[in-house]
Amino acid sequence: MQHAKLDPIDRKILAELQGDGRMTNVELAKRVGISAPPCLRRVRSLEEAGYIRGYHADVDARQLGFEVQVFAMVGLASQAEADLVAFEDLCNGWPLVRECHMLNGEIDFILKCVAPDLSSFQSFLTGELTSAPNVASVRTSLVIRGAKDTPGVPFEVMEDRLAQTA
């Protein structure tokens, strides 16, 4: 199933599940206007095609004692593919790193990190991140507060674009 092959019902299924991944298949089918068996087949097909990567709870990090959120901008000494992959592998092994994105420009990677307190983050920063192989520079910015954190994609924008091209 490629992007162009998603029909309006598939897109509606994705939008509904993105908003509430816990709803039953019966409820989902009702919301998208089809019966439950074909809805379940479509969901499974969307999962198999990789449009749905998984289901998770949106937990509140601060409620769980992770008071510190930091963005770390990392510059590498070498941007050879093997070195980029090696750094990504390191990031996958660091529990405090919740997101890792390779960027174009002056910064090679931006990491979203959470920690219970500033000293825990500082230990990670000095003991693991800055001392990691190939890391040439690290700049950090402490999050004061978040104004928006909306996962997924804006399906309404996709629908507007598709309507304009039809």
> 14 in helix, strand or coil?
helix
Q: How confident is the model at residue 40 (pLDDT cuts 50, 70, 90)?
A: very high
For the segment 74-132, what is each residue's pLDDT rounded down to a tens digit?
A: 999 999 999 999 999 999 999 999 999 999 999 999 999 999 999 999 999 999 999 99
Residue 135: inside a domain, yes or no? yes
Domain assignment present for 153? no
Residue with tokens 């090679």: 108
Quick check: pTM over 0.75?
Answer: yes
Percent of the chain with pLDDT over 70: 98
Rounded to whole angstroms, the Cα distance separating 98 from 72 reads 11
Question: Which residue segment(s) compose the domain that 79 sits in?
Answer: 68-142
CA distances from 88 to 12, 109, 112, 140, 152 (A): 33, 9, 13, 18, 22
- Sorted by sequence, the CB contacts under 8 Å of residue 155 that are 6+ apart come out as 11, 14, 15, 18
78 and 132 belong to one structural domain:
yes
Name the domain count of the chain: 2
Residue 23 maps to a domain: yes
Write the single-letter amino acid at 119: S
Going by C-beta distance under 8 Å and a sequence separation of 6 or more, which residues neighbour residue 100?
88, 91, 92, 109, 110, 111, 112
Is residue 111 one of the residues assigned to a domain?
A: yes
CATH number at residue 18: 1.10.10.10
Q: Residue 139's closest CA among 103, 104, 111, 98?
A: 111
CATH (domain of 131): 3.30.70.920
Contact 98, 114 (CB under 8 A): yes
What local confidence, expressed as pLDDT, does residue 4 receive? 54
2: pLDDT confidence band, cut at 50, 70 and 90?
very low
User: Angle CA(32)–CA(54)–CA(71) in degrees, nearest 5?
Assistant: 115
DSSP notation for 82-137: HHHHHHHHHHHH-TTEEEEEE-SSS-SEEEEEEESSHHHHHHHIIIIITTSTTEEE
101 contacts 108 by C-beta, under 8 angstroms? no
